[in-house]
Structure 1
Amino acid sequence: MEKIAVLSVQFVQYSFEYFIESMEKCGVKNIEFWGALPHYCRLNYKSSEEAHESLKSIRKKLEEKGMKVIMYTPETLAYPYSFSHPEESVRNRTIRYFEDAFLDALILGTNRVFINSGCGLRNLDWDTSWKNTVSTIRKICAEAQKYDVELVLEQLQPYESNLVCTLADIERMLEDVGYENLKVCLDVVAMEVSGDTIDDFFKALGNRIVHIHLADSNHQILGEGEYPVGEYLLDITKNKFEGYISLEINDSIYWLNPHDSIWKSMYFLDAYKRKIH
């Protein structure tokens, strides 16, 4: 339970203060901080100094509650950024965005920054989108090295991306990018959709997996969907994973009451822990 974290994205319709209060009530100490409105968006600030003052305030509020940021997840799917866009200016803007994210992460107290492939324009040549994505992520990794930052790559579902959706896609991206500071987040929902397994991931990637996103089917509350969450936890333990398991209870049906979705998921984990012991 000490390695359970929560991704704050499902609190998109509530203030950051509400989110902290919810985490305190749920007994959560580890935060995967989502970088977007209404909590924090780099685009709102005229300078790095102004942005960092806001982040220092956020970190202070967390630390006062005994919490810490274990991953910074800047929003890239819903904002004007793209790793694969045919226009170089868009790709360069994305690189600059991540350069800012590295500094943001360090201010928050973590050296891990989340990344995904995004989606190539589906009506354009796939090979070109892939090559553009590889080139962009490679440049981002090179910049990240200067700050001793690790990038953590997640696979997506086919409706979200036509680039990195499977274990094989992740393996190819790691090989093509060629930077050791590019690590992996295993997302169990995308994993199930692609037909891969936890054992498949650990056999192929081993300690490159540093983070896990856990949810039930369709990113539902643990135990309320169709996935064998208990078996996932056994497999994760069997593979001696020592990183953070982050709850990504991220279906929009929970936006109205995100606290309840985390409370119920934490209750499921606590009940599971008592059961196996």
Structure 2
Amino acid sequence: MIKSAVTIALVPQIKSGPWIFWNDLEKSLEKAAALGFDAVELFTASADAIDPIHFGALLEKHQLQLAAVGTGAGKVLHGLTLTDPDATVRKKAISFISDMISFGAKFGAPAIIGSMQGNVLPNGNREETMAWLTDGLKILEKHEQEKGVFLIYEPLNRYETNLLNTLESAVDFLRKNNLENTKLLADLFHMNIEESDLSASIRDFGGYVGHVHFADSQRSPMGLGHTDMMPIADALRKIGYSGYVSAEAFPHPDPDAAAEQTIKAFRKYFG
């Protein structure tokens, strides 16, 4: 069964980012539950920014699950990536993500590696950079396995990374490097830029998809852009996808309206 999730961001420095709810964790959970979401996807400044016991009690109170945890604050706040030329920075990036993995695992939720994957720098060596990425993911995979969850890698569009931009390229990379505990995030906004046929990519590489970001063509809540969502929903059902479809979208025109639009769209395509 495909499940719904909505994003909550608690990092003031990323206030302009594509997240639905902001700042007030308990109020956001209350609103998500009232609208009928199954889960939330959480973005925090660090793994210790929230008391896990208190957070667990809030999830239980509102009968919600934790779908995933984002790690982007590692780059935004600290400039950390898995492909930085400085080995000390890469080590700190691995440590930051490992801590987020440990936090999410308390609730059975995986951690997402998006912006913290980094880039091949203008004068950098691509082969060396991809080796750094591989080494980091292998260390993180081991930590994920120990915690009983999987890792999520997100192919981003060309304007955000020059590493891996499509599901196909990411699958090739995972296969080549025997990364067996890493799944992919099919972000419909990024895919709208990079994939020639979104539904075909999902059908072809769906066995590797572990999470979906639900946003329209211009990263608005689904239904406010020009994404043809029905064939994508059909493709997800055909591959037997049973994970979360999570709203990583701009809170337009405001968080409450964006959340309402998202759950309306979710029910249209998956309900």
TM-score, scaled relative to structure 2:
0.85
Q: Secondary structure of the residue that 2:170 maps to in structure 1?
A: helix
Partner of 2:257: 260
Separation (CA, whole Å) in 1 of partners of 2:199 and 2:253? 32
Structure 1 vs Structure 2: percent identity of aligned residues? 20
Which of the residues 44, 47, 53 maps onto 1:42?
A: 47
Which of the residues 111, 121, 125 maps onto 1:113?
A: 111
Deviations 1:186-216 (A, max 9, x none): 111211211242322332x342212111110
Q: Secondary structure of the residue that 2:183 maps to in structure 1?
A: strand
Count of aligned positions? 257
Q: How far apart are 1:67 and its partner, in Å?
A: 0.8
Partner of 2:12: none
Residue pairs, 1:133-148, within 5 angstroms: 133-148=133-148
Q: Secondary structure of the residue that 2:77 maps to in structure 1?
A: coil
Worse-superposed segment, 157-166 or 84-93? 157-166
Answer yes or no: is 1:269 the counterpart of 2:266.
yes
Q: How far apart are 1:273 and its partner, in Å?
A: 5.8
Answer yes or no: is 1:19 the counterpart of 2:16.
no
Separation (CA, whole Å) in 2 of partners of 1:120 and 1:238? 36
Separation (CA, whole Å) in 2 of partners of 1:262 and 1:72? 19
Partner of 2:39: 30
Residue pairs, 1:87-236, within 5 angstroms: 87-107=86-106, 109-116=107-114, 117-196=117-196, 197-203=198-204, 205-236=205-236
Partner of 2:8: 8
Q: How far apart are 1:181 and its partner, in Å?
A: 0.7
Q: How far apart are 1:66 and its partner, in Å?
A: 0.8
Evaluate the alpha carbon distance shift between residue 136 and residue 120 of structure 1 in structure 2; reply closer, same or farther with a 3 A threshold: same
Partner of 1:58: 55
Q: Secondary structure of the residue that 1:42 maps to in structure 2?
A: coil
Partner of 2:14: none
Does the CA-based 8 Å contact 2:21-2:255 persist in structure 1?
Answer: no
Evaluate the alpha carbon distance shift between residue 2 and residue 135 of structure 1 in structure 2; reply closer, same or farther with a 3 A threshold: closer
Q: Which 4+ residue blocks in structure 1 deviate beyond 6 angstroms?
A: none
Separation (CA, whole Å) in 2 of partners of 1:273 and 1:100? 33
Separation (CA, whole Å) in 1 of partners of 2:216 and 2:252? 16
**What amino acid sits opposite 1:198 in the alignment?**
S
Does the CA-based 8 Å contact 2:185-2:213 persist in structure 1?
Answer: yes
Does the CA-based 8 Å contact 1:199-1:239 persist in structure 2?
Answer: no
Does the CA-based 8 Å contact 2:252-2:258 persist in structure 1?
Answer: no
Q: How far apart are 1:156 and its partner, in Å?
A: 0.5
Worse-superposed segment, 81-90 or 133-142? 133-142
Does the CA-based 8 Å contact 1:13-1:256 persist in structure 2?
Answer: no
Q: Secondary structure of the residue that 1:227 maps to in structure 2?
A: coil
Does the CA-based 8 Å contact 1:11-1:19 persist in structure 2?
Answer: no
**What amino acid sits opposite 2:44 in the alignment?**
G
Separation (CA, whole Å) in 2 of partners of 1:164 and 1:138? 17
Q: How far apart are 1:103 and its partner, in Å?
A: 1.7
**What amino acid sits opposite 2:87 in the alignment?**
E
Partner of 1:48: none
Unmatched 5+ stretches in structure 2: 10-18
Q: How far apart are 1:94 and its partner, in Å?
A: 1.0
Q: Secondary structure of the residue that 1:95 maps to in structure 2?
A: helix
Evaluate the alpha carbon distance shift between residue 229 and residue 121 of structure 1 in structure 2; reply closer, same or farther with a 3 A threshold: same
**What amino acid sits opposite 1:106 in the alignment?**
A
* CA-based RMSD: 2.3
**What amino acid sits opposite 2:110 in the alignment?**
R
**What amino acid sits opposite 1:121 in the alignment?**
L
Q: How far apart are 1:129 and its partner, in Å?
A: 1.9
Separation (CA, whole Å) in 1 of partners of 2:269 and 2:104? 32
Worse-superposed segment, 22-31 or 156-165? 22-31
